[in-house]
A and B are shown apart, each in its own frame.
Chain A
């Protein structure tokens, strides 16, 4: 059905946390200009796999990644690849909101400043405004841009982190449960943003909401106990899964 190019291609990926084998033999091709949803019970390794894609697991001492992950046909675990540059291309919204102890403005401007995306203050202002608008936070934040980001509510912090990630213009956006603390209205706005991002980028979203996965994604991957059980068109996974475990999870019998 889809004719998009492959953006990320993972082959036989294993992740160990010390002795724990957290990801087992996962191979998956994630398409460009597509929203891919990762679903699965808590602790099955969704966040772990997501963190492999921008090498955030490098920061965990005990974590060890094996296998091959290619971004645009380039092995991201190759010695020549600079993880810093990789992360500028592959942005991430973390499972727990982690705003910096800086003002709302500085939180969003952080990435653009580091990467020199703005030529002057006016441009930077524009980038910040756009990012906040896309993350559906502008109306609440426009009068308090200089207030600390840590002073926002949990859901507002979550959107601030989305705005922060969007502002750096990544090619791939990894979102780990970006709507877990959001009300239906804000959720709808974030889903709208995801839809819009899909026009140009590849988006991977981890979610515990089946409805959300069904609404926003075109592809769905179901993880269970570190294994990728099933991967395919979202419609097919939700209506006609091949694997028993997928079916039980979707219908709410395991989880």
Chain B
């Protein structure tokens, strides 16, 4: 059965259960809803919940795990002999999957009967041609073992789907029966629904948390793998970044310091641009601007936040870079020759700063607005000017939130990739000159993984170590933000 139909049937069952439950509850109360413990709809909802939720969860889990199990099963059937030189079993497995899908298509189009599809033998039939007729293109000739594996794959998938349908439907029916049986005047359907809602919310929260943990672990495992082939001390304290993609990256130098420095430097420039401008804009908008100006200007600034970063990257590459070279380059307006190419820390930093302005301003604006008017009145009533009031009362009161906004912007800056790739160049360098090209951790993660390096080599695995480092740094920033906010909260509220 198609999963779509399975889900539809379960939902229909559950909806029917809702109506039945409602009716049964009213019946048991002999039509007088007031003697029921809960409103009739709660009885219906309880039936709906018990019918749909457990069965749908089982179906969902089944759909996630079935392919994994079958893959593991089938890949055992593939002898190492047919794995091509330098390739991997995974590649053969993807052939198997493609072939299995192809057979499905062929059956659906009528080019093969279901029987033929299960029993066909590579020795006697040219599968590749037969499938080409129905528009399924296979890369190479089909080996006998691959075909057997594909057939096993199909067979097991079919059995799995059947079992899944059986499990899902029986669970739904069981839930329906049980919950209907429980309905009576005294049954506390409202409380049962409440408990069910709680369980659902907890489930959602755990999914979010488990995914995070999963991502973290996959990062960690690969990082540990990397440190097995590359000394950690060289990674953390090395001052040179020179990956060599030949010979499994054996003689690469993978020091993270130049990348961290680039990240820090570019973020710093970005924050130096974004924080003052963003904060001043927020102060103007929330304290001085008339409601009309505010209602126009605020959305306009927020438009900046909606621009995709790749567009900012283009802006950096095509506009800001050449502009800066025109000023600071060799024949530039200042005649100082500090800048040799358009890509530089300054270019990326400035553009990233512009990107961050709305983060700082929008959040700060909300926070400043949240400072009670009574506080301003108190200050104005003592004969303070508007700007004294802002500096001495409003901003200190809003400080924890503003610090939070700034750290959030910092996290964004550290994680930003596109602007760096296009605006700052690709050279990992430890340098103080902001007009030099530099690069960041994120940009290097991209370039380490987009080459055709082997995924188990140091030059590729280093991406995970970089990712972990970045994660730790951002986490540290967030913890710091929380700490600062807490500290001021305690002092002031």
Listed stretches B38-46, B79-87, B352-360, B390-398; interface member: B390-398
Q: Measured between C-beta atoms, what is the minimum distance from B252 to chain A in Å?
A: 54
| Chain B facing A: main interface SS | helix
> A150 and B493 in contact (CB under 8 A), knowing A94-B378, A100-B378?
yes
Query: Closest A-chain residue to B385, C-beta based?
Result: A84
- Of all chain A residues, the one with the shortest Cβ separation from B393 is A100
Asked whether, in the complex, the Cβ of B377 is within 8 Å of the Cβ of A59, the reply is yes
Give the residues from 80 to 104 in chain A that come closer than 8 angstroms, CB to CB, to chain B: 84-89, 91-92, 94, 96, 98-102
- CB of A217 within 8 A of chain B? no
Q: Which of A84, A87, A98, A110 contacts B374 (CB 8 A)?
A: A98
A161 touches B378 (CB 8 A): yes
A185 CB within 8 Å of chain B: no
B383 touches A87 (CB 8 A): yes
Instruction: Report Cα–Cα, A92/B383, bound state, in Å.
Output: 10
CA distance A87 to B382 in the complex (A): 6
A114 on the B face (CB < 8 A):
yes
| Highest count of chain B CB atoms <10 Å: which of A100, A110, A114 | A100
* A56 and B388 contact, Cβ closer than 8 Å, known pairs A98-B375, A100-B393: no
**A87 & B380 in contact (Cβ 8 Å cutoff):** yes
Whether B493 pairs with A111 at a CB distance below 8 angstroms is: no
Identify the 6 closest CB pairs spanning chains A and B, nearest first: A88-B383, A101-B492, A98-B374, A92-B381, A111-B382, A98-B378
Question: CA–CA, A41 to B378, complex, Å?
Answer: 25
Beyond known contacts A86-B383, A91-B383, A114-B392: 19 more, CB 8 A cutoff: A59-B376, A59-B377, A59-B380, A87-B383, A91-B382, A94-B374, A94-B378, A94-B381, A98-B374, A100-B375, A100-B379, A100-B396, A101-B375, A102-B396, A111-B383, A161-B378, A164-B382, A165-B381, A168-B383
Residues in chain A within 8 A of chain B (CB atoms): 54, 56, 59, 61, 84-89, 91-92, 94, 96, 98-102, 110-111, 114-115, 148, 150, 161, 164-165, 168
- Tell me the complex Cα distance, A59–B385, Å: 12
Residue B384 CB within 8 A of the other chain? yes
List the B side residues contacting A92 at CB < 8 Å: 381
Closest Cβ–Cβ distance, residue A232 to chain B (whole Å): 29
In the bound complex, residues from chain B placing their C-beta under 8 Å from that of A102 are 396, 492
B141-200 contacts to A, CB under 8 A, are none
Can you list 15 A-B pairs with a CB-CB distance of less than 8 A?
A54-B381, A59-B376, A59-B380, A87-B382, A91-B383, A96-B374, A100-B375, A100-B379, A100-B396, A111-B382, A114-B388, A148-B491, A148-B492, A161-B378, A164-B382
Q: Mark B367-411, 1 if CB is under 8 A from A, else 0.
A: 000001111111111111100100011001100000000000000
Task: Assess A100 versus B383: contact at CB under 8 Å? Given A94-B374, A150-B492, A161-B378.
Answer: no
Cβ of A84 and Cβ of B383 under 8 Å apart?
yes
* Complex contacts, B377 vs chain A, CB 8 Å: 56, 59, 94, 98
- Min distance, Cβ A216 to any Cβ of chain B, angstroms: 21
Please give, as numbers and ranges, the residues of chain A lying within 8 Å of B380 by CB-CB distance: 56, 59, 84, 87
CB distance from A155 to the nearest CB of B (A): 17
Q: Smallest Cβ distance from A208 to chain B, in angstroms?
A: 20
Q: Which residues of B contact A88 (CB under 8 A)?
A: 382-383
Distance A148 CA – B489 CA, assembled complex (angstroms): 11
Instruction: Fill in one digit per residue for B413-429: 1 if any A CB lies within 8 Å of its CB, else 0.
Output: 00000000000000000
B376 / chain A contacts, CB cutoff of 8 Å: 59
Query: A114 touching B384 by the CB < 8 A rule?
Result: yes
Considering only residues 448-493 of chain B, those with a C-beta below 8 Å from chain A are 491-493
CA distance A56 to B393 in the complex (A): 17
What does the 1/0 interface line of B240-282 toward A look like (CB < 8 Å)? Answer: 0000000000000000000000000000000000000000000
Assess the A100–B381 pair: CB atoms within 8 A: no
What are the residues of chain A within 8 A of B392 when measuring CB–CB?
110, 114
User: In the assembled complex, how far is the CB of residue A141 from the closest CB belonging to chain B, in whole angstroms?
Assistant: 17
Complexed CA–CA distance, A92 and B377 (Å):
10
A112 — nearest CB in chain B belongs to which residue?
B382
- C-alpha gap A164/B384 in the complex (Å): 13
Of A89, A101, A165, the contact of B493 (CB 8 Å cutoff): A101
Shortest Cβ distance from A153 into chain B, in angstroms? 15
- From A61, A86, A98, A161, contact of B372 by CB (8 A): A98
> A235 → chain B, closest Cβ, in Å?
31
Report B388 CB to chain A, min CB distance, Å.
Answer: 6
Neighbouring B residues of A59 by C-beta, 8 Å: 373, 376-377, 380
Chain A residues whose CB sits within 8 angstroms of the CB of B378 once the complex forms: 94, 98-100, 161, 164
Docked pose: A115 CA to B374 CA in angstroms:
21
Q: Give the residues in chain B near A111, CB-CB below 8 Å.
A: 382-384
- Contact yes or no, A101 B397, CB < 8 A: yes
Of the candidates A110, A148, A150, which one forms a contact with B382 in the assembled complex, judged by CB atoms under 8 Å apart? Answer: A110
Q: CA separation between A102 and B488, bound complex, in Å?
A: 10
**Complex Cα distance A69/B372, Å?**
29
User: In chain B, what residue has the closest Cβ to A147?
Assistant: B491
Q: Measured between alpha carbons, how far is A168 from B375 in the docked complex, in Å?
A: 17
| Minimal beta-carbon separation of A204 from chain B (angstroms) | 14
Decide yes or no: A110 and B397 within 8 Å by CB, A84-B385, A101-B493, A150-B492 being known contacts: no
**Which residue of chain A is the closest to B381 with respect to CB atoms?**
A92
Q: Which residues of B have CB within 8 Å of A96?
A: 374
Name the A residues within 8 Å of B492 (CB-CB).
Answer: 101-102, 148, 150
Q: How far is the CB of B267 from chain A (nearest CB, A)?
A: 30
Q: How far is the CA of A61 from the CA of B392 in the complex (A)?
A: 23
Selected from A91, A99, A101, A150, the residue in CB contact (under 8 A) with B381 is A91
Q: For residue B384, which residues in chain A have a CB less than 8 angstroms away from its CB?
A: 84, 110-111, 114
B402 → chain A, closest Cβ, in Å?
14
Determine the chain A residues whose CB is within 8 A of the CB of B382 once the complex forms.
Answer: 87-88, 91, 110-111, 114, 164-165, 168
Expressed in whole angstroms, the Cα–Cα distance for A218 and B388 within the complex equals 37
Contacts of A54 in B (CB 8 A): 381
